[in-house]
Structure 1
């Protein structure tokens, strides 16, 4: 159901906050915290607190989009959102969600842009060196699982936090270019096996996963939280999850995607791996995703320590786009 033709009529900050809440409320999202299950070190209510705490940063993102002159930058908005999240949740609950939401909110709030792949890509391409410095500072508020930087970029390792500022300024590297360092799938010469950083890919590719999954949500039926859970399965079936690869290994990440794909394609036997690209996931398969079967997978993933957190980030971003385009929580 949509807002009776009033798509985008609400405040983008309200929709971003609601997207954060709906993402964690969607269940089952195999391996993730949801309204029915906690993880050993992370509880459902921490995500509710993180969503509330992030709001001042999201408001800053909307201000950067709506005001002329010299508004706050995307990087400052992101750091503020992460700091508020960490203060209220007491831990890292939605770092990746906020990395995606901040440019989306800015695009939605900017009267000279629109919430489209082109609009958000323009926001990302307009980022500055100061945005990059603020992005590095955000890593001082929380612990974030990340891979090692590519060769020759040790001085730009995000784990250095604000200590990386001299290198960022010396190289004059804006935020989008920092994120462009991350999606590298591996070194073909050494055959290093890496799963690309999906959130960084969104920033550099114009958010294809976000807008594709938003279409799944908009054309699905039933409660938004259930639609979000099915979209999560679709995204996981499409590509291996970055966080799973970072915390476990690439092979486990691919196997996890294959298990999600098997739920979506239950009549096709037991698929051996992910689809390979989000555009290859059929919307009808997503809409027919068996959430009862996903419950069993959720229990298995929790027991095995498989936590597809990057897929949850993408689901949150997709929920925001869907809300801006008319999806609503009313029955």
Structure 2
């Protein structure tokens, strides 16, 4: 069996994430939205690979992420995997360095620079990303300003890690950056210990992550009460008290998308693949 490269495993992680089912409220191989389809995620994963390859060979994390987003955005639906790429890029960088561990990826993110932060902000110019309005005193650092915010980043000497750490209390992906990617590594270890088809394992990982904490994307797009409802019902699915497929269909109908959890599943799959998950 030919060994895959780090970037190939990252691309495969994105493909396996969207192929797993059910994932309530998310596009998967059985569910789509009218304007966001399974094919868009497949194309987004393929388009992102050149940027992921940059991360794997040691290019700056911010630049690699921006190129991955730019490539991802080359399909007709726009943003498919922005958050997943923000999870994957530092993991890929750590793996490329031969140190895909909590400490290894923590060193990667803490080593980011102001230039990395600037690249991150430019990435928002390629796609529309749902984010909360910043506090009034941080309006000049609103990520939706893109390149226009770079002078402020530079004047404050904010690195990409600084930017992520400042959002860790409201954004689940940023929280991973600030906590050694603990949820991703823990879920990756559980997925490796699981059995059965990988897509089924990924679906179970999704429910476990969703049941553990409110999804911050749901908080942003709806509200915390909805996110907490989704969390409780994910736990009910795991306990056998609610049907997973019916729950998945309902959330699609309600346009409630636990997208942050899906982002973490992409990272989970990558960790598992790099640690020997057989596909």
- 1:249 aligns to 2:223 (yes or no): yes
Larger radius of gyration: 1
- Tell whether the 8 Å contact from 1:149 to 1:182 is kept in structure 2 after alignment: no
Q: Alignment partner for residue 163 of structure 1, among 143, 148, 161?
A: 148
Alignment of 1:208-227 (within 5 A): 208-227=182-201
Partner of 2:80: 93
Residues 164 and 59 (structure 1), Cα distance of their counterparts in 2 relative to 1, 3 Å cut:
same
TM-score for both structures, normalised by structure 2: 0.97
TM-score for both structures, normalised by structure 1: 0.82
- Tell whether the 8 Å contact from 1:220 to 1:227 is kept in structure 2 after alignment: yes
Shift of residue 49, structure 1, vs aligned partner: 0.2
Shift of residue 180, structure 1, vs aligned partner: 1.2
Alignment of 1:154-193 (within 5 A): 154-184=139-169
- 1:118 aligns to 2:92 (yes or no): no
Identify which range, 146-155 or 40-49, moves more after superposition. 146-155
DSSP 3-state at the match of 1:302? helix
Partner of 1:306: 256
Q: Distance in 1 between matches of 2:161 and 2:76?
A: 27
Residues 121 and 151 (structure 1), Cα distance of their counterparts in 2 relative to 1, 3 Å cut:
farther
DSSP 3-state at the match of 2:73? helix
What is the number of equivalent residue pairs in this alignment? 279
- 1:18 aligns to 2:18 (yes or no): no
- Tell whether the 8 Å contact from 2:202 to 2:269 is kept in structure 1 after alignment: yes
Partner of 1:296: 246
Q: Distance in 2 between matches of 1:119 and 1:173?
A: 21
Q: Distance in 2 between matches of 1:208 and 1:180?
A: 15
Shift of residue 105, structure 1, vs aligned partner: 0.4
RMSD after superposition: 1.4
**Gaps (5+ residues) in structure 2?**
none
Q: Distance in 1 between matches of 2:76 and 2:20?
A: 19
- 1:133 aligns to 2:124 (yes or no): no
The structure carrying a bigger helix percent of its residues is 2
Shift of residue 232, structure 1, vs aligned partner: 0.2
Shift of residue 88, structure 1, vs aligned partner: 3.1
Partner of 2:96: 109
Deviations 1:74-111 (A, max 9, x none): 00000000000001354100000000100000000014
**Gaps (5+ residues) in structure 1?**
65-71, 185-195, 268-289
Partner of 2:53: 59
